[in-house]
Amino acid sequence: MTEVKFPELKELLKTAFPNSVSQQELADWCSVKQSAVSQWIHGYNRPSAAHVALIASWEKINVDPAQLAQAAKRETEGIMRHFELISLGQQSFSDSLELHEGSPGLINKIWFRGDPELAIDEASIRIHQLEKNLEKYSAQKHRRPLLKILSNLWFERSCAYWVSAPISVSQKRIREMASKQYKIAEELDDKEPFGWAFHGLGNIFYGLKQFESSRESFNRALFYLEDRAYRRPLASRTVAITSAYLKDKTAFKEAVALTWDMLDTDVTTPATRCIVLEGIARGEAILGHSRARATLREGWSCLKQAETENQMATVPRIQLMRSEVEAALHLKDWDKTWIEKRSEEGKTLAEAHNYKKYAANFAEFLRNVAD
C-alpha cells in the first residue's frame, strides 16, 4: 500500500475539490499528467511551488494559497510570489507585456546562479501564465511579442533541464521544448526562436556524444542567433569543442577564431568569457595542446573578476573545475590524488546545487581514475 506522505494536503484537497471537477481538468490547468494530480489528492506526493500557486489560483477550487503551501510543506513566501504573479497576469496587454519581458532573463539568472530546480518551477508558472494570456489575443501585434517571450522562456527552461539532469532523463523534455520553439519560429517567421531551438537540440546531441550532429545543430543555431553578448559566443564555443572531439583541427581553429571575435569586453560579461575560455581549453586539451593550461588560468581570472563584480558564477566555477580535470586526463600529466580530490570537490559542489549533469561528469572522471 502506498504511503500517505502529506496527510494535511490530502485532507485540504479533499475538502476543496468539488465532485463536479475532474482530476484531468486540474491536470490540464497545471500542465501535468492526471496521475500527478491523483498523487497530490491522495497525499502520496506534493505539488511544486509553482503548481501550488496554480491550484490556488484556479477559480474551480476554493483554497487559500498560504494554507495549501503549508499542507504541501512548501515555503509560503515563494508560493505567494507565484500567486501574485498569476493575478498580475490578468491585467491589460501593455501591463502583461511589461510583466513578461524580464522573465527569460530572470530564469537564466536563477539556473545560472545555482538553483536549476527553482528555475524550472519559475519558468513553468510564467509559461502557463503567458499561454493563458495568448488565448485572449488573435491580432499579430499582440501575439508576436508574447510568443517570442514564450519561446525564450521555453529555451531557458530547457537549459535548466539540461544542467539539472543526466541527458538520459532530460533529452525528451528538451526535444519537446525545442519543437515548441520551432513552431513559434515558423508562426513568427523570426530567426531568434529558430536559433534557440537548434541550440537546445545541439545540447541533446552533445550529451549523447553524437558530436557531428551536435556541431551541425550549433552551426545552424549560429546562423539564427543574434545575441553576440551571450548565446552566440556560447554556441560558437560548443562548435569548437565538438570539432575537437571529432579531431577536426581546421574547424576547431575556425570556431575559436570566430568565438574570440565575439568576445568584446564591453559587451560580454566576465562570467560568459569564463565559460568560453574553459570550453576552448577543453578543446585544446582534447587535441593535445599544452596551451590549454594557460587558457584555463585565464578562465579562472575571469571567474575571479565575475565574483568581484558580484555576478552569478556557480555554473562557470563548476565548468572550470570540470574542464581542469578533463584537460589533465587528456594531456596525461595528472596526479591521481589531485584528480580524485578535484573531482570530489566538483561533484560535491554540483550535487549541492542539483546540477546532476555535472555531478555525473565528475563521477565519470572518478571511475576513469579508478580504472
Q: Using pLDDT thresholds of 50, 70 and 90, give the confidence band for residue 57.
A: confident
198-212 pLDDT, tens per residue?
Answer: 999 999 999 999 999
User: Residue 83: is its pLDDT beyond 70?
Assistant: no
Q: Report the distance separating Cα 286 and Cα 323, nearest Å.
A: 10
Is 41 in contact with 13 (CB distance < 8 Å)? yes
User: How much is the pLDDT for 118?
Assistant: 84
| Rg value, the chain, Cα | 22
CATH of 1-88, one of 1.10.3470, 1.25.40, 1.10.260, 3.40.50: 1.10.260
| pLDDT mean over 259-272 | 82
Domain at 91-208: CATH code = 1.25.40
User: How much is the pLDDT for 351?
Assistant: 93
Q: Tell me, yes or no, if the two domains 1-88 and 91-208 fold the same way.
A: no
Q: Report the distance separating Cα 242 and Cα 248, nearest Å.
A: 9
Is 98 in contact with 31 (CB distance < 8 Å)? no
User: Residue 88: is its pLDDT beyond 60?
Assistant: no
Q: Using pLDDT thresholds of 50, 70 and 90, give the confidence band for residue 319.
A: very high
Instruction: Give percent of the chain with pLDDT exceeding 90.
Output: 46
If one compares 260 and 64, the residue with the highest pLDDT of the two is 260
281-315 pLDDT, tens per residue?
Answer: 999 999 999 999 999 999 999 999 988 877 668 89
CA end-to-end distance (rounded Å), the chain: 43
Helical spans, DSSP H, in 167-248: 167-188, 191-207, 211-224, 231-245
Cell matching residue 223: 546562423
Unique residue bearing C-alpha cell 490578468: 90
Q: Between 140-164 and 191-207, two packed helices, what is the crossing angle to 10 degrees?
A: 20
331-359 pLDDT, tens per residue?
Answer: 987 788 999 999 999 999 999 998 999 99
Q: Report the distance separating Cα 129 and Cα 123, nearest Å.
A: 10
93-137 pLDDT, tens per residue?
Answer: 776 677 688 889 888 888 888 888 888 888 888 888 788 778 887
Cell matching residue 237: 564555443
- Locate the domains of the chain by residue range: 1-88, 91-208, 263-371
If one compares 247 and 227, the residue with the highest pLDDT of the two is 247
User: How much is the pLDDT for 371?
Assistant: 72
Is 76 in contact with 83 (CB distance < 8 Å)? no
Q: Which of 91, 189, 112, 92 is nearest to 148 (CA)?
A: 189
Highest mean pLDDT, choosing among 41-45, 47-51, 235-239: 235-239
Unique residue bearing C-alpha cell 504573479: 85
User: How much is the pLDDT for 273?
Assistant: 92
